[in-house]
Amino acid sequence: MISIIIPAEKNENYIDRALESVEAQTHTDFEALVLHSDIDALKRVVGRKYLDDERFRFIETPKDITAGAARNIGIDAVGGEYVYFLDSDDYISENTLELLVQNIKDHPLIRTKMQKTDFGSSFVIIMSGTNKLGIFHRNRYKLIRNHSALGFLISKAFIDSLELRFDDSHQTYSDLMFMIPLLEAVEVVPYVHEAIYFRRRRNDPVTHPSLRQLPVEQRMEDLLAIYNRLKQLELSTEAENFLDNTLLNFYRKHLVVKFKDDSEIDAHFKGLAESIQKINPRVLRNKDRVLVNDIRAIQTNKVGTFKRLSNFHHLLRDVRRAISSKKGRKEFIYKRLFKKMGLMEDVVVFESFQGKAYSDSPKYIYQQMLRSRGGYKYIWVLNKKQKLPGDPVTVKRFSLKYYYYMARAKYIVSNVRMPNSYIKREGQKYLQTWHGTPLKRLAGDMDSVHMPGTNAARYKKNFSRETDKWDYLIAPNAYSSAIFKRAFWFTNTMLETGYPRNDILMTDDNPVIIQDIKEKLGLPKDKKVILYAPTWRDDEYYKVGKYKFSMQLDLERLKEKFGEEYIILLRMHYVVASKMNLTGLEDFAYDVSKYDDVSELYLASDMLITDYSSVFFDYANLRRPVLFFTYDIEKYGEQLRGFYIDMETELPGPLLMTNDAVVDAIENISGIEEEYKEKYDAFYDRFCSWDDGRASEKVVEAVFEE
């Protein structure tokens, strides 16, 4: 019998998939030992069939113990001939145990193939007769390059004979205390290619990290402790090399980055130097010169010497990057020169939608400051030059002037994330206005990410680094404030003021101003205006930062039906790069995607058609009709980001799946207004009650000194 040990603490969301893969095994002679500190709570979340299957044993453990300690409890409780370790957020292919049992023969252990995945299920097809058995001999330490006992089927008698146990006092690298003595006791390890262990990448490194996603400081402390203990043993050359290379690789991958800030060196140097002394000189042969020089400097045990060398090596790396690209040269000057200059206490940098426009809440905060604050110097980030009121300095994003002001300005105001290269200085104040009430799930609340060039874990980690820099965040309503705090991991000052960009919806909703806006846009003044403002789809893109949009609204039909009475304004999301072909639709359809101020478009329109864009939250301030053209709602809601509110019951307008439905709704717009009046009123009270026309004033008073 095989005893499968499954520590389940803090993995309740994933445990069913792990147990399902065990229950589906073609080899049925097993017991699954599921370990958790609250068995009653665990049983409430697992499937009933596992509770009724006597092969699944639920074992209570002390609270807050390490994974290694839990596995040790499991080892003491096994009743099988073999032991197999499975993490509760991973799973195995259905023939894994069968293939391992068939091929282990007289060997004390055997290894499966490890395959990383981002998904809750993966499939493999094994053709009859294709079973391949590999043998690892002198290279057997390659099998624990992941520093893990996962994937090994091991004889329980062999474990007992060696008195093997996991380190129980450290979160990470504890498996090495079990696996290295085990591999030292064997000469060869068979390996079955077709037996698959699926190791799921954890997608939330901020609030629910895997052990590998824990802070560098904790992992370093654990690694040094385990390394020092193992170095006291008499080990083979292969084991010595493996340990030394593990430490060197950790230093190169993680500590070199951390030591860019040389103040970090003092806190960690003593412990690091103690371990580095134990590295065998032969392992440094054929390593790159920079790494060897670093290690030798650490071995002198002189922190000052190492600091100087580390700073010099970081300078060389920055110089190499500066030589390789124009952007690299600018970032070199930014980090090495501009950031060392003093902050300019009177300088405010404004940026809206990555420099694409003079718009949104930053625009209205700026205009309020022109009215109420003297003595400030204003910088606007604009990719295309334009004349602005107040005559501020304008700089292009990623220009040398941009980096200069980002390094030296006391205040930064933006409505989207800053580039990863931005390093917030001590003393800077960063006001993040954000740009909408959330309908779609944000950042930390997203289960998966389908954007190009990233995955969920990387996306959330980068987003968290960004939100750590925010001193102030504006919330448009109580609903958003609660979501922002959770989804953005935000703990600084929330400004519960409403959106500054909505001020004009309160102050400028009058016929004279609306006619002026139409004249500025070149629109006919005798026709009603439909505003179509859809959002973007995460999984439809050309490349990183350039998204497609496939127009599903039948503009030709709308023109034929309503062209005498209406025109339509088309407002695409700022990340959409698709070009619209409006041939034949002249004098009916107008592309206003590049018009700076969407709030003015709201004022100019008589009706809004949208989908999952947050524009309708702001538009509701005007109490004008809203239609939702949601032709792909099933895909968008279930497969992409999901929604915070119930689209079918809480929206202030109907969900329309077809163009026929859109036409019918426009024809009967007065009936729809009457039908949705109660829902609209409830929606307005929930989402628009903070907007009183004074948000800009309140924000300026909270952030900027007189």
Within 572-619, residue ranges assigned H as helices are: 598-604, 615-619
CB 472 within 8 A of CB 495: yes
Contact 309, 293 (CB under 8 A): yes
The secondary element (H helix, E strand) that includes residue 281 is none
474, 416 Cβ separation under 8 angstroms = no
The single-letter DSSP state of residue 226 is H
Sequence-ordered list of residues with C-beta below 8 angstroms from that of 174, at least 6 positions apart, any chain: 66, 67, 68, 166, 167, 168, 222, 226
User: What pLDDT shows up at residue 543?
Assistant: 42
Among 195, 102, 99, 210, smallest CA distance to 147 is for: 210
Residue whose entry in the numeric block shows the structure tokens 């290694």: 68
Q: Determine the 3-state secondary structure of 528 from DSSP.
A: strand
CA pair distance 532, 494, nearest whole angstrom = 31
pLDDT score for 376: 95
270 three-state secondary structure = helix
Angle, helices 289-299 vs 303-324, to 10°: value is 160
The two three-digit tokens of residue 77, written as one number: 């409780």
491: exposed, middle or buried (C-beta count within 10 Å: 0-12, 13-18, 19+)?
exposed
Q: Phi and psi (nearest 5°) for 49?
A: -65, -30
pLDDT value of residue 577: 43
Q: How far apart are CA 215 and CA 157, in angstroms?
A: 37
- pLDDT under 70: residue ranges of the chain: 118-131, 202-212, 448-454, 536-550, 573-579, 635-641
d(CA 140, CA 363): 62
What's at 192, amino acid-wise? V
**Torsion (CA) 357, 360, 364, 370 in degrees, nearest 10:** -20
- Give the C-alpha separation, 309 to 296, whole Å: 10
Q: What is the pLDDT of residue 31?
A: 96
Cα distance between residue 152 and residue 112, in whole Å: 6
Could you tell me which residues come within 8 angstroms of residue 484 by beta carbon, excluding any fewer than 6 positions away? 434, 438, 442, 473, 475, 490, 494
Distance CA 5, CA 3 (A): 6
pLDDT, tens only, 38-58: 998 888 888 788 888 999 999
**Using an 8 Å Cβ cutoff, are 110 and 104 in contact?**
yes
Query: What residues contact 103, with CB distance under 8 A and at least 6 apart?
Result: 110, 131, 133, 190, 192
Give the integer Cα–Cα distance in Å for 59 and 68.
Answer: 15
Tell me the β-bridge partners of 494.
473
Residue 133's identity, in one-letter code, is: L
**What's the pLDDT at 45?**
85
Rounded CA separation 128/107 (Å): 24
pLDDT value of residue 536: 61
State how far the Cα of 36 lies from the Cα of 58, in Å rounded to an integer: 8
How many of the other CB atoms lie within 10 Å of CB of 630? 20
Angle at 373 between CA 367 and CA 374, to 5 degrees: 115
Q: Which pLDDT score is estimated for 113? A: 92
Contact 297, 309 (CB under 8 A): yes
Q: Are 406 and 422 in contact (CB under 8 A)?
A: yes
DSSP string of 441-484, one letter each residue? --GGG-S----TT--HHHHHHHHHHHHTT-SEEEESSHHHHHHH
Per-residue pLDDT tens over the stretch 592-619 = 988 888 999 999 999 999 988 889 999 9
Q: Which two tokens stand for residue 550?
A: 């496939």
Tokens 């109907």 belong to residue: 654
> How is the beta sheet containing 626-629 ordered, strand by strand?
589-591, 566-570, 528-532, 607-610, 626-629, 655-656
| Residue 569 CB-half CA count within 13 A | 26
Region of residue 587 (left: phi > 0; alpha: psi -120 to 50; beta: else)? left
Identify the pLDDT of residue 682.
Answer: 95
Distances (CA, A) of 501 to 379, 454, 571, 659: 19, 31, 17, 32
CA 393 from chain center: how many Å?
34
Interatomic CA distance for residues 520 and 92, integer angstroms: 63
Residue in the structure block whose two tokens are 């497969």 = 639
Contact (Cβ atoms closer than 8 angstroms) between residue 479 and residue 687: yes
- Looking at the chain, the whole-number percentage of residues with pLDDT higher than 90 is 64
Three-state DSSP at 536 gives coil
- 524-529 long-range Cβ contacts below 8 angstroms, 24+ apart: 524/567, 524/587, 527/565, 527/566, 527/567, 528/565, 528/566, 528/567, 528/606, 528/607, 529/566, 529/567, 529/568, 529/569, 529/604, 529/605, 529/606, 529/607
| Residue of 485, 10, 406, 477 lying closest to 202 (CA atoms) | 10
Residue 543 β-bridge partners = 546
pLDDT at 327: 86
Cβ-contact 86, 6 below 8 angstroms: yes
Burial of 213 (0-12, 13-18, 19+ CB in 10 A): middle
Contact 659, 632 (CB under 8 A): no
- Among 388, 386, 407, which Cα is nearest to 396's? 386
